[in-house]
Amino acid sequence: MNTAAKTAAAVYPPRKEFAQTAHVDADRYAELYAASVADPEAFWREEGKRIDWIRPYETVKNTDFTLGQVSIRWFEDGTLNVCANCVDRHLETRGDRTAIIWEPDDPKDAPKHISYRELHGHVCRMANILEDMGVRKGDRVVIYLPMIPEAAYAMLACARIGAVHSVVFAGFSPDALGARINGCDAKVVITADYAPRGGKKTALKSNTDKALLHAKDSVKVLMVRRTGEQTSWVQGRDHDYNELALEADDVSGCVEMGAEDPLFILYTSGSTGQPKGVVHTSGGYIVYTAMTHEYVFDYHEGDVFWCTADVGWVTGHSYIVYGPLANGATTLMFEGVPTWPDAGRFWEVCARHKVNQFYSAPTAIRALIGQGTEWVEKHDLSSLKLLGTVGEPINPEAWNWYNEVVGKGHLPIVDTWWQTETGGHLLTPLPGATPLKPGSATKPFFGVQPVILDPHTGEEITTNPAEGVLCLKDSWPAQMRTVWGDHERFEKTYFSDYKGYYFSGDGCRRDADGDYWITGRVDDVINVSGHRMGTAEVESALVAHETVAEAAVVGYPHEIKGQGIYCYVTLMNGVEPTDELKAELQKWVRTEIGPIAKPDVIQWAPGLPKTRSGKIMRRILRKIAENDTGSLGDTSTLADPSVVDDLIANRAGRE
Ligand code: WT7
């Protein structure tokens, strides 16, 4: 993939008609961006006003990137309630507008339209139920739900009562769920009986039961009935949401929260085996997600906005729930997958609900390219005004198809670079302002100061073109504040490699025009279908199998997923390396972590290439996986060079 950087870049300036009605045109971008970095205090003091505060802030920014004393605080003396900003404040002016359009997995089932007034009732009922279950300000609630409106109700209900939610993607295994429940010491887990998706279903309640075998006895369960099928039931522990909601009061107050009180924790993979709990707080996060949602997607009052992500990822938090709802938008929530019942599903949904902005991922686009253009052409996409992409660098083929086939050559495509840690977009075009280049996330958003550092010297490269590691020089309001329960790990992960900067973990190129091109992760994290996977996590799952002595995992280019998972496995002495065992190990990792972590390739490795001090040389393993063995680089530090010859000779069957 990532051929983008090598191709001479085509440039698509913003169309005049678009720029005329857009919030921001090129001149305005230049002017506002300059102001935002010249005086961040003044800029954000003004921007903070897009949110309703209970007690207005006086201090705007109080941030320090110095290793040993990293501290990030925005609007710190202000108080607010995020749920009030996403729901209550719209009741007077937009009470009857649809807040959430829900499109179910099966197109034969009816979609739902939930107005802001109805949303208020649902959220209040959920808030009252949670309070009755003993949840109070500061307590943690894990949300393990399908893509149903109750997932948004649950997030907003937590925000309303000041509880900290941690959403766990419904594709994660019981073990992964359990680790997250214990990791944040959750009081309640909100789940569903089953999660239908692509015509199949996952037994969420049964997964939750398994996860709770290793959790505290006091953890309670609130179960939403999605399919209505029978499930196990533990008296006293399990609570029936649908029954309780019938009785629950549909009004409830909003708890006054400090701007720096945590809003949510979201676990994400890093370069070690343990996922880390990324903590986002209230004030800065909601200001920034509302603002980026408005400017990056050029959202206008009344637009129907669709982000195809799952609420289990940060994209769903920021651009299905918080950003759009803070702006009083209509946000579409889709339970299904792009290719079921057929490859026209996305476009059918766009046509049915007259979607105006469509925000998806390169992996979804690549999966659809192979199915042919007729699936797009048979649906009326005339409501679309803008397309967006996120998750990984978009290859020019996918960009061109998105542009020509979906956008009919005249829609702006915003390629948004950001991370779980950044809370919202950092590098992105503004559709009325920025000339687009296929594969480039182009320019920084307001207030964002990207820098490219030389990875060896740690010095800023100030000339163009430049290539190195991507860091941020100063804070932005939606920056993560800490790793849950481990501030030291936060500092070490993001602030220790390059002193005084936030280190993104991504490699990056800046071209002669000052446009940014992400070249991929520079750590041991791989990007599988736009989802982050720590290779160390897959390795520890593999070595937990009784037959495995050692494992090393790397990414390799995969046509649809962007990167695939390539595993080198050394078996215990005497274990027979068979195809059955390969299949068994694939299944094992899938159940240990979840379907997204299933290895694509397993290669038996009698030995792994190590330095004399015993460090695995991943660089070499990556080259072999990529089938780029002509340029292995320096192998002189290998303890046993013959190991490499064996791995090349027996490279797993992909030519
Ligand atoms: C990593 C963050 C927050 C979005 C969903 C993924 C890669 C993300 C882009 C893009 C090139 C991108 C980076 C980043 N990435 N968007 N537009 N162009 N790369 O969130 O799981 O926290 O992963 O995804 O490598 O570091 P995440």
Cα-to-centroid distance, 520 and ligand 1 (Å): 9
590 is in an annotated binding site: yes
- Which pLDDT does position 5 carry in this prediction? 47
Residue 54: which region, alpha, beta or left (left: phi > 0; alpha: psi -120 to 50)? alpha
Q: Are 595 and 643 in contact (CB under 8 A)?
A: no
Residue 7 has pLDDT above 70, yes or no: no
Which residue lies with its CA nearest to atom 12 of ligand 1?
A: 392
Residue 102 phi/psi, 5-degree rounding, is: -110, 125
**Whole-number Å distance between alpha carbons of 556 and 565:** 7
**pLDDT at 612 (0 to 100):** 84
Q: Distance between CA 645 and CA 153 in Å, rounded?
A: 56
Three-state secondary structure call for residue 493: helix
Which amino acid would we find at residue 583?
Answer: A
Position 651 confidence tier, pLDDT thresholds 50, 70, 90:
confident
Whole-number Å distance between alpha carbons of 407 and 400: 9
Query: Which tokens is 571 given?
Result: 């078996």
SS3 (DSSP) at 222? strand
**From 276, 363, 419, mutation site for ligand 1 pocket: most ligand atoms within 8 A of C-beta:** 419
Fill in the amino acid letter for 617. Answer: M
Backbone phi, then psi, for 277, in 5-degree steps?
A: -85, 100
The answer to whether the beta carbons of residues 387 and 358 sit under 8 Å apart is: yes
Residue nearest to atom 2 of ligand 1 (CA): 419
Q: Is 194 in the pocket of ligand 1 (CB under 6 A)?
A: no
317-346 pLDDT tens trace: 999 999 999 999 999 999 999 999 999 999
Do 536 and 525 touch, CB atoms closer than 8 A? no
- The CA-CA-CA angle for residues 582, 586, 587, to 5°, reads 115
Distance 391 CA to ligand 1 centre (A): 4
Alpha carbons 358 and 400: distance in angstroms, whole number: 16
**Residues of the chain above pLDDT 90, percent:** 92
Report whether 548 belongs to an annotated binding site. yes
For position 632, what pLDDT does the model report? 84
Read off the tokens for 238: 């399990």
pLDDT, one tens digit per residue, over 22-66 is 999 999 999 999 999 999 999 999 999 999 999 999 999 999 999
**pLDDT tens digits, 251-267:** 999 999 999 999 999 99
Q: Based on DSSP, count helices (H) and strands (E) in the chain, helices before strands.
A: 22, 30
3-state SS track over 400-440: HHHHHHHCCCCCCEEECECCHHHCCCCECCCCCCCCECCCC
- Residue 430, ligand 1, Cβ within 6 A: no
Separation between Cα atoms, residue 609 and residue 129, nearest integer Å:
56
Contact status, residue 155 vs residue 264, Cβ threshold 8 Å = yes
**What tokens were used for 407?**
């956008």
The amino acid present at 655, given as its one-letter code, is E
Q: How far apart are CA 251 and CA 278, in angstroms?
A: 31
pLDDT at 8: 59
User: Nearest-CA neighbor of 292 among 195, 414, 210?
Assistant: 414
**294 labeled binding residue:** no
Ligand 1 center to 414 CA (angstroms): 14
pLDDT tens, residue by residue, 570-597: 999 999 999 999 999 999 999 999 999 9
**Is the per-residue pLDDT at 73 higher than 60?**
yes
Report the predicted TM-score, pTM, of the whole model to 2 decimal places.
Answer: 0.94
- List, for residues 466-508, the tens digit of each pLDDT value: 999 999 999 999 999 999 999 999 999 999 999 999 999 999 9
Report the separation in Å between the CA atom of 425 and the middle of ligand 1, taken as the mean of its atom positions. Answer: 10
* Interacting residues of 534 by C-beta distance below 8 A, sequence separation 6+: 269, 270, 271, 272, 273, 275, 524, 525
What pLDDT was estimated at residue 3? Answer: 45
Cα–Cα dist 82/285, whole Å: 9
Domains of the chain: 529-650 (3.30.300.30)
Residue 4 pLDDT > 70? no
What is the full DSSP assignment across 451-468?
EEE-TTT-PBP-SSSEEE
- In short, whether 282's Cβ falls inside 6 Å of ligand 1 is no
Q: What is the per-residue pLDDT for 653?
A: 60
Q: Take residue 508 and report the two structure tokens written for it.
A: 């990056």
Decide: 506 in ligand 1 pocket, CB within 6 A: yes
Mean pLDDT on 129-147: 98
pLDDT tens digits for 194-232?
999 999 999 999 999 999 999 999 999 999 999 999 999
The yes-or-no verdict on residue 546 having pLDDT over 90 is yes
Cα 295 to Cα 297: distance, rounded to the nearest angstrom: 6
Pairing of strands 413-415, 98-103: unpaired
For strands 548-558 and 562-571, give the pairing: antiparallel
Residue 167 · residue 141 · CB < 8 Å? no
Mean of pLDDT over the chain: 96
CB-based contact 133:188 (threshold 8 Å):
yes
Helix/strand/coil for 309? coil
Report the alpha-carbon distance of residue 192 to residue 154 in Å, rounded. Answer: 12
Instruction: Please report which helix (H) or strand (E) contains residue 369, including its range.
Output: helix 362-369
Matching residue, tokens 């100063």? 474
Return d(Cα 268, Cα 498) in angstroms, integer. Answer: 21
- In the chain, % helix, strand, coil (3-state, to 5) comes to 35, 25, 45
How many A from CA of 281 to the centre of ligand 1? Answer: 21
Instruction: Write phi, then psi, for 313 (nearest 5 degrees).
Output: -115, 165
> What's the pLDDT at 1?
40
Verify whether ligand 1 is closer than 6 Å to residue 521 (CB atom).
yes
Is the confidence at residue 2, as pLDDT, over 90? no
Does the C-beta of 419 come closer than 6 Å to ligand 1? Answer: yes
Ligand 1 touching residue 73 (CB < 6 A):
no
Q: What pLDDT, on a 0 to 100 scale, did the predictor assign at position 611?
A: 85
Place of tokens 């026209």: 344
Task: Count Cβ atoms below 10 Å from residue 462 Cβ, excluding itself.
Answer: 9
* 515 is known to lie in a ligand binding site: no
User: Amino acid identity of 252?
Assistant: S
